[in-house]
Structure 1
Amino acid sequence: MDLISAVGALGEGFVGYALPFLFVLTIVVFFHEFGHFWVARLCGVRVEAFSIGFGPELAGFNDRHGTRWRLGAIPLGGYVRFFGDENAASVPDGEAVRTMTEAERRVSFHYKPVWQRAAVVVAGPLANFVLAIAIFAGIYTLYGKQITAARVDVVEPGSAADTAGFKAGDVVVTINGQPIRSFSDMQRVVGVNADTEIAVEVDRGGVRQHLLATPRMREIKDNFGNTIRTGILGLSRSTTPEEVIRERHDPFTSTWMAVQETWYVTERTLAYVGGLIAGKESADQLGGPIRIAQLSGQVAGVGMIALVNLAAILSISIGLLNLFPIPMLDGGHLVFYAVEAARGRPIGERAQEMFFRVGLALVLMLMLFATWNDIVHLATS
């Protein structure tokens, strides 16, 4: 498929992609911005606008505190604008801030103590993590988690598993001392240990066997035809519907499992970014709005539970992205506040303006690169 055909295919599937994409993105963006909004209100900051989307307003209303709640025409994010902000990135309006009255300063974000400003900023990403934990916990409590025994049915000839001595019928019990309860548990541990030797304990006809194996990095297709790079042993199993167990858990157990799942996604995301910086990972796996929309449509075809699960994963990703120390993002603001706390005064306006311009350029370049990756991905899929 060439690029023109890829764009045409995207247009044909727009409705199928757009609705699930907007559903997922709106949930994630709303909770992120509501985190900023809620803590700002607690700190006595006047909030002038709460927007889902950018650009011209499609609909909106004013609440009793004077905040304009609005829906923008470009549904690719959102913002909360505080009193004294020049724009949606909370860049201070220098002239307006300098000429504020004492009463106005009391409700201005930019005159709040540095710890309150930091709390308001970090509340957005934190809300994303809380949302992910809540979604995972809800799924595990109400729907349950599907479990399939880590039994080996087929050992690929010449694979890492074949070299290590795996046999059909083996049931994986532990990997590096970590208990394995399902085939997906095994795949996760193996996937993150490419080219690293692992110690595997298997149950072979009631007798415990200890094997050493080194998963090999390989590019594979997921269930939606997307290419991913992961560690592979070369094991597979045939699953019948009767063998799939759905385990529901009490809310406390589900919450703890949700915290572990959120940490796993966070850890893997940071590991990928670290590998990208070190040159060990390929940048072609970076996706932008087009790929997220495509994935949302594909997942929506599986069912609502899968789509909500995707919202949790996307929420974690957005929370992490916003914590990166890049001006324009929440993490960049936190760096400014840390410097201000250390030196006893804020960074100068000209320096802040320069950093924000650099940050904007970096964000735009990242978006362009991710979008180009999306188009190439469509063309080659």
Structure 2
Amino acid sequence: MDSLPFFLNYIIPFLGIITVIVFVHEMGHYLVARWNGIAVDAFSIGFGPELFGWTDRHGTRWRVAAFPLGGYVKFTGDMNAASVPDPDFAATVAPDEARRLFANKSVWQRMAVVVAGPMANFIFTFLVLYAMLLGYGRLTLDPVVGQVLPDSPAAVAGLQEGDRFLTVDGFRIRGFEDIQRVVSTAPGREIAVTIERAGEIRVLSLVPETATTTTRFGRELKIGRLGVSRDVGANDIVTYRPGPIEAVGMTFEEIWFIIDRTLGFLADVFVGRADLDQVAGPVGMAQVSGEVATLGLLALVNLTALLSLNIGIVNLFPVPMLDGGHLLYYLFEAARGRPLSQKVQDVGYRIGFALVCTLMIFTLVNDLV
């Protein structure tokens, strides 16, 4: 593989996506911090040596660093980018400056700043998906069964030609593509299917069979299949354009689907049911970014929005070093009336750092293997 085409086709789209997501996330932290009167030393896209930057009139250094896989907002009085407070600095700072320190704000203000990053990712995803739905509508296929494969899960459950899907696994079905998307994320797991047959509503239970598909890069993915197809002779491909109000509901449905499937996959990981080969790291994300980039700018923007949502979800996990870990500390502080000891927090940060590093190494090895 030539290095220049690979860089242009895969690395550039990937870095563009990561930069947008990190900027949105950190801007959420920054804005809520400023609204609460917190002094900010640095707003960084990336880690490591600074490539270029500038200092604004508030004293915040806006910088782009050499290693772009992440970023941070560093508050005045923090020892590092993980928002670990520096007790020596807090003890010697002037009173006027002390009231602007993140560590000296109320626990509720600190919680608001922490939550603001993931919330910014959620809001960004909503706005992008909503705008694309209003602007371009949605191609959809009539969700009516055209054929049922013999001995398939659909046949065993009693699905018949002409059945119209209404819901699958609790998700509303607007088109045949919805069926494929929901079922593909539930291999080997029992799901409920609501159909309409001759004016009668029926609920069936079935277990999608597990099938294996291979991406162009050789990564094998396990997906679920029902064993049904639509009527290929029907001219039922239409562009559905919802109104502004309906588009709000459809966008929330899309976001909830991603959240539900993400949490479901993680639950499967904990019980040993998930296929860990499907966990992708930076290399896998670069490959996906390059593939999607070939479909055009709109597809790349859509991928950015979906990854932004996933980054927001992951950051809320109760792991020290992540936003969810900080939030967990502050919830303990709010319940106890005083913060956890610095020793306990330090131990938590070390555990969190080890977990994050382990995950990064695992995903990288997974990508390369």
Structure 1 length-normalised TM: 0.88
- Residue aligned with 1:40, SS: helix
Per the alignment, residue 223 of structure 2 pairs with: 230
Task: Note the residue ranges of structure 1 that are not aligned, 5 or more in a row.
Answer: 1-7, 377-381
C-alpha displacement at 1:250, in angstroms? 2.8
C-alpha displacement at 1:177, in angstroms? 8.1
* 2:193 corresponds to 1:196: no
Cα pair distance change 1:322/1:174, threshold 3 Å: closer
Cα distance in structure 1, aligned partners of 2:3 and 2:257: 32
Query: What amino acid is the match of 1:295?
Result: V
Cα distance in structure 1, aligned partners of 2:151 and 2:2: 39
Cα pair distance change 1:9/1:344, threshold 3 Å: farther
Query: What amino acid is the match of 1:305?
Result: L
Q: Highest relative contact order (Cα 8 Å, sep 6+), 1 or 2?
A: 1
Cα pair distance change 1:208/1:352, threshold 3 Å: closer
Check whether the contact 2:54–2:63 (CA below 8 A) recurs between aligned residues. Answer: yes
Cα distance in structure 2, aligned partners of 1:265 and 1:51: 28
Check whether the contact 1:197–1:213 (CA below 8 A) recurs between aligned residues. Answer: yes
Query: What amino acid is the match of 1:184?
Result: E
Cα distance in structure 2, aligned partners of 1:25 and 1:33: 12
Per the alignment, residue 33 of structure 1 pairs with: 26
2:339 to 341, 346, 349: 346
1:75 to 59, 68, 87: 68
- Residue aligned with 1:130, SS: helix
- Provide the aligned C-alpha RMSD in A: 2.5
Cα pair distance change 1:344/1:367, threshold 3 Å: same
Cα pair distance change 1:220/1:138, threshold 3 Å: farther
2:212 to 220, 237, 240: 220
Shift >4 Å, 4+ stretches: 8-12, 167-170, 173-179, 206-211, 222-226, 238-242
Per the alignment, residue 327 of structure 1 pairs with: 320
Cα pair distance change 1:213/1:51, threshold 3 Å: same
Per the alignment, residue 161 of structure 1 pairs with: 154
Structure 2 length-normalised TM: 0.91
What percentage of residue pairs aligned between the two structures are identical?
Answer: 44
- Residue aligned with 2:37, SS: coil
Query: What amino acid is the match of 1:157?
Result: P
1:64 to 57, 60, 72: 57
Cα distance in structure 2, aligned partners of 1:101 and 1:173: 64
Check whether the contact 1:134–1:255 (CA below 8 A) recurs between aligned residues. Answer: no
Per the alignment, residue 268 of structure 2 pairs with: 275
Alignment of 1:1-381 (within 5 A): 13-175=6-168, 180-191=173-184, 194-196=188-190, 198-203=192-197, 210=202, 212-221=204-213, 226-237=219-230, 243-376=236-369
Check whether the contact 1:325–1:332 (CA below 8 A) recurs between aligned residues. Answer: yes
Per the alignment, residue 5 of structure 1 pairs with: none
Comparing 219-228 and 288-297, the one that deviates more? 219-228
